[in-house]
Amino acid sequence: MLADFLAGWAAGGAGLLIGHPLDTVKARLQTMNAYSGILDCFTKTLRNESVGGLYKGMLVPFLSAGAQHSLIFLAYGGALKLLHPGESNVDARKDLPMREILLASICGTMLQLGPAIPIEMVKTKLQVQRENATLARKDQLLYRGPVDCLFKTYQYNGFMGLFKGGQVMFYRDNIGFLFYLPVYEGLLRLFRKNDLDNAAFQMLAGGIAGSTSWFSICPLEVLKKIEFRRIKYMRRSTCGNWREKFDEKKGSRPFIEAVWPLPNMWSLTPLLLTLGVAVALENGLARTPPMGWMSWTAFYCELNCTKYPTGCINERLYMDMADRLASDGYREAGYVSVHVDDCWMERNRDGAGVLVADRERFPSGMQALAQYTHTRGLKFGIYEDYGTLTCGGYPGSYGYLKIDAQTFANWEVDYLKLDGCNINLDLMPIGYPQMERELNATGRPIVYSCSWPAYLIDHPHLVNYHVIGKSCNLWRNFDDINSSWKSIQSIINYYDHNQDKHIPTHGPGRWHDPDMLVIGNKGITVDMSIAQMTIWCIWSAPLIMSNDLRIIGKEFREILLNREAIAIDQDPLGVMGRLVANTTDIGVYVKPITPTAGSRTSFAIGILNRNITNAKTVEVVLWTLGLKDEAGYRVKDVWEKSDLGILKPSDKLRTQVNPTGAALFRAELVNQAPSPDRPFFFGDVPNDAFFRPGRVFNERKLSGNYNPYAFSNEY
Ligand code: GLA
């Protein structure tokens, strides 16, 4: 709400600086007959009164427009918060029903009306008090300034005189805001749907919303000025004034005259408001966690193609993997990208500063490789580093962000992993958002993966995922994975410990990336593979494999291709599941998924056994995990591929979990009839008190030693 308040203030104040001169022209055209048109009014005012003339009456709204807009957005944001007490993620606003946007914008209108009526009146009186633009002498003016105007109005017309014209303002603002915010939010949704969620379209939405709203209120705006201005009209009713104005020779002209200076405050304010926030907003990509194949953890920086012809970083490797993705069922299951990692470049840029792919290992060049993947229905990802050099010592993007972004776009790259080696940490908050802007500027949709927070692991206070999420579609935040249980376990521990920080900042378009799937590699058993896949799917984590798809065992391939597990990962809600119960060996995770009914959701349940030698029997009563829907849940065991039938909240889920293994269940709402309560949205989940560890730990019914805060370190 504070953000709403401040953004409203900034937008109001800034909008006025540009908008006020136009507003003055508009006010004069509406109320005086001294000008033949906009330009005439503009030049005459400038000539006779210099620039100050255009800023007449500006002091009051300048001080107050900020406050006014603050009130509007304060009440707007506040009303939405009241309707959704659980919301923590401001972006969830985009999922709200239109009727709520409407209701909230009416609240905003009402709150600002109180101060707005006298302020508008003073402003208008000052703007138009010079009936004839040739009168320039101060002593011929009615009011010396805003305070004088306020005082005189009070003196002549009493306290209620300050609110003359208020009735029209009431209609005007309610009608105006009926269009303003709903049109803005509605257009954003439309643009988002069409993947046009960028700064330019945000501004367009703001501009259209302002203009639509202006068109809708223009006649009332004219009427308002009459009521403010003429004492004789003030005794009439609003309708009487309207009739009178029509009766004047000009007919309806005055009502449409004011349409012309369209780029006025009403249009500029939302434009500027959006300009402020739009510089770093999402690109509309990666609505579900990215899935694909990446070379690093399986092939690292192997350059010796003579010794390892099928295991070195060359174009053949990526072509082979593209072939496998396309022919072995991975693509259909959702693994749609081939990602080149480090060590693909020549050691030097070319004469124009452009990156060059290693001429021996990538003789066809990167664009050809991108096209090879595209013709197989796949996307193409590339690796760079924000620093002076990549982690492997190849040329980094520092000083070349623009050129590199354009190069990648020219090569038809669809995804960029931007690493963070060899750069001063202080530069990260500058460089990563800058690259996002450079990528956007190319006009090519490129998913943007940042390693920014991974390099700040020792400075957690510098990591603000809300900020990172504004620039990056996904981000690494912990150590590199390797093909060992110890590594998988350490990532899970890190994520468990930081779940309160991670969960609210994770969702469509902005994902925490715990690093690659190492399933199918030497050192990783079937149980470990099931464990990694289970937890990654519970987290809605990117599923990017790093293995050798040419020789992978069938049992591992089946784990990777398990459609039920993938559906949990790719669930459109995009919620990161939470560890809700924990013992030394066992961790139980719960993740809200679709189908939903109102605020009720289905769930995925993951149970991890960290013990490396003993299988564990786990018994858990559904309601203790937050599965409280009375009609119960249809429960399926994802790995066993069995149907456990319908379980009620008081029923126990019982399962045996292998050492270093996991179980995964899908519990779908039985009663999916829409409930009368408010709809589910992303912000609900992290704030639901039931998911707070403390409560659940106290109510847990798990076998094993109870130690709520023990995050096992035994691998
Ligand atoms: C870093 C990244 C890895 C990999 C290497 C390449 O360590 O975290 O994923 O890209 O760099 O050098």
pLDDT in tens, 178-199: 777 778 777 877 776 665 666 6
Q: How far is the CA of 391 from the centre of ligand 1 (A)?
A: 6
Q: Which of 389, 480, 546 to mutate to test the pocket of ligand 1 (most atoms within 8 A of CB)?
A: 480
Which residue CA neighbors atom 8 of ligand 1 most closely?
480
Which residue CA neighbors atom 1 of ligand 1 most closely?
391
Is residue 391 lining ligand 1, measured as CB closer than 6 Å? yes
CB burial class (10 A; 0-12, 13-18, 19+) of residue 653?
A: buried
Residues with a catalytic annotation lie at 419, 480
Q: How far is the CA of 455 from the centre of ligand 1 (A)?
A: 11
Q: How far is the CA of 712 from the centre of ligand 1 (A)?
A: 27
CB atoms within 10 A of CB 85: 10
CB 552 within 8 A of CB 578: no
Q: Which of 297, 313, 394, 419 to mutate to test the pocket of ligand 1 (most atoms within 8 A of CB)?
A: 419
- 292's tokens: 């694909």
Q: From the alpha carbon of 451, which atom of ligand 1 is closest?
A: 8
pLDDT number for residue 202:
72
pLDDT number for residue 201:
75
Which residue CA neighbors atom 11 of ligand 1 most closely?
391
Q: From the alpha carbon of 515, which atom of ligand 1 is closest?
A: 9
Is residue 449 lining ligand 1, measured as CB closer than 6 Å? no
Average confidence (pLDDT) over 29-38: 71
How far, rounded to the nearest angstrom, does the alpha carbon of residue 332 sit from its chain's CA centroid?
28
Buried b (16+ CB within 10 A) or exposed e, 406-424: bbbbebbbbbbbbbbbebe
pLDDT number for residue 682:
40
CB atoms within 10 A of CB 663: 23
Which residue CA neighbors atom 9 of ligand 1 most closely?
480
Q: Which of 293, 295, 296 to mutate to test the pocket of ligand 1 (most atoms within 8 A of CB)?
A: 296
Is residue 315 lining ligand 1, measured as CB closer than 6 Å? no
One-letter identity of residue 714: E
Average confidence (pLDDT) over 359-380: 98
What backbone torsions phi and psi does residue 466 show, to the nearest 5 degrees? -60, -40
Listed residue (649, 682, 645) closest to 666, CA to CA = 645
Which residue CA neighbors atom 3 of ligand 1 most closely?
480
- 211's tokens: 């203009």
Share of the chain above pLDDT 90, in %: 54
Listed residue (35, 56, 23) closest to 143, CA to CA = 56
Is residue 227 lining ligand 1, measured as CB closer than 6 Å? no
Q: How far is the CA of 350 from the centre of ligand 1 (A)?
A: 24
Buried b (16+ CB within 10 A) or exposed e, 230-249: eeebeeeebeebbeebeeee
Q: Which of 293, 299, 341 to mutate to test the pocket of ligand 1 (most atoms within 8 A of CB)?
A: 341
| E strands in 410-459 | 415-419, 447-450
Which residue CA neighbors atom 6 of ligand 1 most closely?
342
**Dihedral in degrees, nearest 10, Cα atoms 342, 347, 351, 356:** -40
Q: How far is the CA of 297 from the centre of ligand 1 (A)?
A: 9
> Which comes out higher in pLDDT, residue 591 or 103?
591
Q: From the alpha carbon of 476, which atom of ligand 1 is closest?
A: 8
Q: Considering only the top CATH level, what class is 580-684?
A: mainly beta
d(CA 567, CA 288): 10
Is residue 297 lining ligand 1, measured as CB closer than 6 Å? no
CB 341 within 8 A of CB 295: yes
CB atoms within 10 A of CB 701: 12
Q: How far is the CA of 387 from the centre of ligand 1 (A)?
A: 13
* 617-663 pLDDT tens trace: 999 999 999 999 999 999 999 999 999 999 999 999 999 999 999 99
d(CA 564, CA 446): 28
Which residue CA neighbors atom 12 of ligand 1 most closely?
391
d(CA 103, CA 475): 37
d(CA 504, CA 642): 32
Is residue 341 lining ligand 1, measured as CB closer than 6 Å? yes
CB 339 within 8 A of CB 544: yes
Q: What is the mean pLDDT of the chain?
A: 82
d(CA 544, CA 569): 12
| 195 φψ region: left (φ > 0), alpha (ψ -120 to 50), beta (else) | left
Q: To which residue do tokens 């993966």 refer? A: 449
Q: From the alpha carbon of 480, which atom of ligand 1 is closest?
A: 8
Total-model pTM: 0.63
d(CA 397, CA 381): 16
Is residue 381 lining ligand 1, measured as CB closer than 6 Å? no
Under CATH, what is the fold of the domain 291-569? Answer: TIM Barrel (3.20.20)
Strands 511-513 and 543-545: unpaired
* 654-705 pLDDT tens trace: 999 999 999 999 999 999 987 655 444 444 443 333 333 332 332 223 333 3
pLDDT number for residue 264:
47
Is residue 296 lining ligand 1, measured as CB closer than 6 Å? yes
Lowest mean pLDDT among 187-191, 263-267, 447-451, 565-569: 263-267
Q: To which residue do tokens 């208020």 refer? A: 166
Q: How far is the CA of 401 from the centre of ligand 1 (A)?
A: 19
Listed residue (289, 223, 225) closest to 252, CA to CA = 223
d(CA 16, CA 60): 11
Q: How far is the CA of 568 from the centre of ligand 1 (A)?
A: 27
* 498-510 pLDDT tens trace: 999 999 999 999 9
* 472-494 pLDDT tens trace: 999 999 999 999 999 999 999 99
Is residue 385 lining ligand 1, measured as CB closer than 6 Å? no
Q: How far is the CA of 482 from the centre of ligand 1 (A)?
A: 11
Q: Can you give the C-alpha Rg of the chain in angstroms?
A: 31
CB 168 within 8 A of CB 220: yes
Q: How far is the CA of 296 from the centre of ligand 1 (A)?
A: 7
Average confidence (pLDDT) over 559-582: 97
**Confidence grade of residue 283 (pLDDT, cut at 50, 70, 90):** confident
Q: How far is the CA of 594 from the centre of ligand 1 (A)?
A: 34
d(CA 148, CA 13): 23
Tally helices (H) and strands (E) across the chain.
25, 16
Q: Output DSSP code: residue 621.
A: E
* 432-475 pLDDT tens trace: 999 999 999 999 999 999 999 999 999 999 999 999 999 999 99
Q: Domain segments of the chain: what residues?
A: 2-259, 291-569, 580-684
* 125-170 pLDDT tens trace: 777 665 444 444 555 567 777 888 788 888 777 888 888 777 777 8
| 282 φψ region: left (φ > 0), alpha (ψ -120 to 50), beta (else) | beta
Q: How far is the CA of 320 from the centre of ligand 1 (A)?
A: 22
> Which comes out higher in pLDDT, residue 476 or 27?
476
Q: From the alpha carbon of 385, which atom of ligand 1 is closest?
A: 11
- 582's tokens: 């924990």
Starting at the earlier edge strand, list the strands of the sheet with 586-597.
578-582, 586-597, 600-609, 662-669, 633-637, 642-647
d(CA 40, CA 133): 11
Q: Considering only the top CATH level, what class is 2-259?
A: mainly alpha
* 82-135 pLDDT tens trace: 777 655 544 545 567 777 777 887 787 788 888 888 887 777 777 766 544 444
As beta bridge partners, residue 591 has: 604
CB 575 within 8 A of CB 591: yes
d(CA 52, CA 60): 14
Give the orientation angle of helix 238-247 with respect to helix 199-229, to 10 degrees: 90
pLDDT number for residue 117:
80
Give the CA distances from residue 327 to residues 331, 566, 567, 593, in Å, rounded to whole numbers and listed in that order: 8, 18, 21, 30
CB 528 within 8 A of CB 661: yes
pLDDT number for residue 155:
76
Which residue CA neighbors atom 4 of ligand 1 most closely?
296
As beta bridge partners, residue 415 has: 381, 447
Q: Is the pLDDT of residue 223 over 70?
A: no
pLDDT number for residue 683:
40
Q: What is the DSSP string of 345-381?
A: B-SS--TTS---B-TTT-TT-HHHHHHHHHHTT-EEE
Q: From the alpha carbon of 417, which atom of ligand 1 is closest?
A: 10
pLDDT number for residue 55:
82
Continuous segment of H or E residues that includes residue 618: strand 616-621
Listed residue (422, 469, 417) closest to 439, CA to CA = 417
Is residue 480 lining ligand 1, measured as CB closer than 6 Å? yes
d(CA 510, CA 491): 19
What backbone torsions phi and psi does residue 327 show, to the nearest 5 degrees? -105, -15
pLDDT number for residue 598:
86
